[in-house]
Chains A and B, each alone.
Chain A
Amino acid sequence: MAEKHVYIEPVTRIEGHAKVSIYLDEKNKVKQARMHVVEFRGFERFVQGRPYWEVPVLVQRLCGICPVSHHLAAAKAMDRIVGAKKLTATAEKVRRLMHYGQTFQSHAMHFFHLASPDLLFGFDADPAIRNVFGVVQKHPDLAVQAVKMRAYGQEVIKATAGKRIHGTGAIPGGVNKNLSLAERDVLLKDVEQMVAWARSALGIARDYTTAHLKELAPFGSFDSNHGGIVRKDGTLDLYDGRFRVKDAKGSMVIDQLDPMKYLDHIAEEVRSWSYMKFPFVKSLGPGKGWYRVGPLARINVCDRIDTPEAEAARVEFMKLTDGKPNNITMAYHWARMIELVHAAEKIRDLLHDSDLQGADLVVKGERQFEAVAVIEAPRGTLWHHYRVNENDQVTMANLIVSTTQNNEPMNQAVMKVVQDHISGKAEITEGMLNHVEVAIRAYDPCFSCATHALGQMPLVVELIDVHGNVIEKRGRA
């Protein structure tokens, strides 16, 4: 009769804000666990009537965490609007460099600041040490590397976009600057160090995962589809390609999806209890069609990686599951570090490419009125869809961000963890609630852009009993 309700709110050490509610019955058995996000679709309205060339800059206000991904996704859509079918080599490579810089800094920051406290101290460790300051004390070398890697990624962004945040580098049909030799030389100086640090971070994530595989394998894990973009030949490509979805066993569900046709294959389900939508593959239906995105999904769906160290790491990673998709939630961290190495290798390759100093920056063609673009943001596949009228004004915008695609997966992970670690326990400890957050953090969600709010939101976890009383609440300011 007595039913309890647990909320976890805000989930700490993730970007943004959401609320997890855990409903318990009188025996502390879990009846239901859900992650809610308050949605505010401010951006879609905000962008109405604005000129299309403004959108790649405007859209960065959506998210302070990966503004470059939005900048580039919008720029790619606007390439189509201005009829630029193929960018110049310089433009494409400058944009790629910007994108790898973003991925590098985002992944480095997530691993050290958000994930490593749990991995280095354990999920049940005293929260007083289980935080980034604890990491700084116990592993000062790691902390310094984290800060420098983040700063390096930001320097790459600044050199290509003009500013660390809210740059203007990508414009419809190309870029507004190349990479000068002076800018290149500054970045070249430290690039080997960045590759080396990325390699050692990968080592930590891999060793941690393999050493704790027994506990980690079932932790918040479940079978699911996986989605990400790949090139024509199946090679991983974070900047450009076509969407692919594989099921939990590795069978192809969608391959080489033309972004312009995404609406034929992907739909968003609305559920009464959540403001954040639930995207799914239409042919499988909402019950079975949801999919994971992000590092784990990308490594699962691609056939190869085109940089040697990351490829070797991918092969090793896939061995763990005999080449089949890896469905372990906590394997996200390892996959993310493979991409960290990949991004570092890509940055290094690009810095040695003289195309970056080219002078041909912009192309144009026949004007179009509708465009969809897709890119792999650090957190997963990101879709931008716009309509633009003859007066050059945006009349419609629809964005599907990675965290929205990971909505159902995160809910699955939460339910799994709650059932395994909280359900039926006489007493609910901080450590148990942290388990819920650990599972969510694996997805590196960003609720500020998932909700299309202009700004940031924190996340809360609450435990509420049958009478609706909050019996436990945790969060951060």
Chain B
Amino acid sequence: MSDTVTVTIDGAQVKGRAGQTILQAAEAAGIYIPRLCAHNELSAHGSCRVCTVLVNGRPQAACTQPVADGMIIENNTEKLTNMRKAIVEMLFVEGNHFCMSCEKSGNCELQALAYRFGIAAPRYPYLFPKRDIDFSHPDIYIDRNRCVLCGRCVRASRETDKKVVFEFTGRGAHRRLGIDAAADLADTDAAVADKSVEVCPVGALMRKRVGYAVPVGQRKYDHKPIGSDIEAKRA
């Protein structure tokens, strides 16, 4: 009994269990809190800040903050949505995301967030950075143009695959996805069945030769916005 906590999310009473994060408790109650670096099968990372909510008026990352009894949480407000939009827009201009020809289009969480938020064009200027690609591995490729540095692959490699294929290098604007080899992904023990390859939210870490096998109209986010599956659970 002492296990149960009650919080308020956008005015609705939500029951959660102690130890759950706000994101998890909300999700169990059918409330979608937008997120990017968080993944249900991986430890929380708290880096992208897309999941930011106001807890008793203070901004917190819902994916790392545990629920506590009596919390007043704001999630779906204009101010928060606008801030989340800004984050997503920054991610767009910071990389080279050409949705029109990207094979992840329709299955991409970054694109899906942009659609959900109704982003037509980013408010910031594109940076068009020079990023490298790594096609050395026979079955997997990295396209850093599309990497949003969410760290899902880094965590999945350690936590699920029990390998250390990926690691971040550099700081701040120079942060990039590094690999456990001098130069080529081919020289790591990455394998096509690795969890790390499956969890990338964008088209940065991909299986080769899959391409556009799934037609437009049958892709993950073609018909329903991201988060709809969670919202469908709401009683």
A-B contact count (CB 8 A): 54
B216 touches A168 (CB 8 A): yes
List of A residues within 8 angstroms of B213 by Cβ: 171, 176, 362
Given A392-B209, A393-B135, is A54 in contact with B101 using a C-beta cutoff of 8 Å?
Answer: yes
Main secondary structure of the interface of B (DSSP, over half): loop
Pick from A49, A54, A61: contact of B211, CB under 8 Å = A54
* Chain B 140-153 near chain A by CB (<8 Å), digits 1 or 0: 01000000000000
Q: How far is the CA of A168 from the CA of B103 in the complex (A)?
A: 9
User: Closest residue to A177 on the B side, CB-wise?
Assistant: B215
Quick check: is A272 within 8 A (CB to CB) of the other chain?
no
| Interface flag for A259 (CB, 8 Å) | no
Q: Chain A residues with Cβ under 8 A from B135's Cβ? A: 49, 51, 391-393
Measured CB to CB, the nearest residue on chain A to B134 is A391
Of A54, A60, A61, A163, the contact of B216 (CB 8 Å cutoff): A163
The yes or no answer to B100 lying at the interface (CB within 8 A) is: yes
Asked whether B100 lies within 8 Å of A166 as measured between CB atoms, the reply is: yes
Judging by beta carbons under 8 Å apart, are B215 and A176 in contact? yes
Contacts of A167 in B (CB 8 A): 216
Whether, in the assembled complex, A475 has its beta carbon less than 8 Å from a beta carbon of chain B, the answer is: no
CB-CB contacts of A158-180 with B at 8 A, as 1s and 0s?
00011100111101100011000
A contact residues, total (Cβ < 8 Å): 23
> Is there an interface contact between A166 and B101, defined as CB atoms closer than 8 Å?
yes
Is A171 a contact partner of B212 (Cβ separation < 8 A)? yes
Q: Is B129 an interface residue (CB 8 A)?
A: no
B:126-170 near A, CB below 8 Å: 133, 135-136, 141
Q: Once the chains bind, are A176 and B212 in contact (CB under 8 Å)?
A: yes
Tell whether B234 is near chain A: CB-to-CB under 8 Å.
no
Closest partner residue, chain B, to A78 (CB atom): B211
Whole-angstrom CA separation of A343 from B121 in the bound complex:
38
B233 to chain A, nearest CB (A): 30
Interface membership of A57, Cβ < 8 A = yes
Given the known inter-chain contacts A392-B208, A392-B209, A393-B135, please indicate yes or no for A57 contacting B101, CB distance below 8 A. yes
Query: Is A54 a contact partner of B103 (Cβ separation < 8 A)?
Result: yes
Interface assignment of B217: CB less than 8 Å from any CB of chain A: yes
Chain B residues within 8 Å of A54, by CB: 101, 103, 211
* Contact partner, B133, options A49, A57, A168, Cβ 8 Å: A49
Q: Which of B101, B133, B210 contacts A61 (CB 8 A)?
A: B101
For the A-B complex with A51-B209, A391-B136 known, give 6 more contacts whose Cβ atoms are closer than 8 Å. A51-B135, A54-B101, A161-B216, A167-B216, A168-B215, A176-B213
Q: Which residues of A contact B (CB under 8 A)?
A: 49, 51, 53-54, 57-58, 60-61, 161-163, 166-169, 171-172, 176-177, 362, 391-393
- Give me 15 A-to-B residue pairs in the complex whose CB atoms sit less than 8 angstroms apart, sorted by A's number: A51-B135, A51-B141, A51-B209, A53-B209, A57-B100, A57-B212, A60-B101, A61-B101, A167-B216, A169-B215, A171-B211, A172-B211, A177-B215, A392-B135, A392-B208
The 10 closest A-B pairs by CB, nearest first: A162-B216, A53-B211, A168-B212, A177-B215, A391-B135, A176-B215, A58-B101, A57-B101, A162-B215, A393-B135
